[in-house]
Amino acid sequence: MPSSEARPRPAAGRHAALALAVAAWAAAGACSFLPRKVALRYTPSKNLERRVRRTPIVLVPFLDKRPDTVSIGRAPMPGGVGTVRLKPGGDLAAWVRGAVELELEAAGYTIAAAGSDYKVGGSVKAVSCGSDKRGVCSIRVEAWLNMKDGWQLSIRDYQGEGLRPPIFPGEDAYELSMEEALREAVGALRRDVERLVP
């Protein structure tokens, strides 16, 4: 005589397996939805003609005037399904100011705390990293050069774009591209300062 015990229905078994698969996928990919932080590093341009400059420069803090001060773009998720938000791994405006200081010092200028006839400052206007695997990043910085009496010698936007694919294990394309973009922008600012400040 057939057993009276109920046998699991195939449909119910498929639903249970699907539910387990979805739960496992969510657990494995939960971290993928979190913002990805991009380290902010900078080394000054190479092969600069370092000269002894007579005039020190006061470098004031830069401001962050981006419309979105949280995100710098989006990156593709592993597997190419969707994107994840990119966030700077530090203070973006302080990173730009530090890069300007390194470039000016590499060119031979002394950065003074006060008492100079020349001041440099500015703001970060835009930063964007593309959502493709190449890691293209761009940056736009407004910078000015003033005399201590308030006379403005220069004010303009400096833009840079970086595309640096990783070569060695552990390198981050967005980190490398951000640095390259900033170096292009800050290098143009340095050349203007060299032209206007003895």
8-45 pLDDT per residue, tens? 555 555 555 444 443 433 433 444 457 889 999 999 88
Does residue 45 lie in a domain region?
yes
146-156 pLDDT per residue, tens? 998 889 999 99
In total, the chain counts a number of residues equal to 198
183 is in which domain, residue-wise? 35-196
CATH of the domain at 168: 3.40.50
pTM of the complete model: 0.79
- Report the number of distinct structural domains present in the chain: 1
Express as a percent the part of the chain with pLDDT over 70.
80
Average pLDDT over residues 166-176: 86
Does residue 14 lie in a domain region?
no
* Average pLDDT of the chain to the nearest whole number: 84
Say how many C-beta atoms besides its own lie within 10 A of residue 182's C-beta.
29
CA distance linking residue 151 with residue 118, whole number of Å: 10
Instruction: Give residue 48's pLDDT band: very low, low, confident or very high (50, 70, 90).
Output: confident
Instruction: Give residue 197's pLDDT band: very low, low, confident or very high (50, 70, 90).
Output: very high
Closest CA to 115 of 194, 193, 57: 57
Does residue 26 lie in a domain region?
no
Does residue 8 lie in a domain region?
no
Does residue 29 lie in a domain region?
no
Does residue 6 lie in a domain region?
no
Backbone angles phi, psi at 178, to 5 degrees: -60, -45
pLDDT at residue 152, as a whole number? 95
Does residue 30 lie in a domain region?
no
The crossing angle, in degrees rounded to 10, of helices 173-196 and 92-106 is: 50
Closest CA to 79 of 18, 32, 129: 32
Does residue 22 lie in a domain region?
no
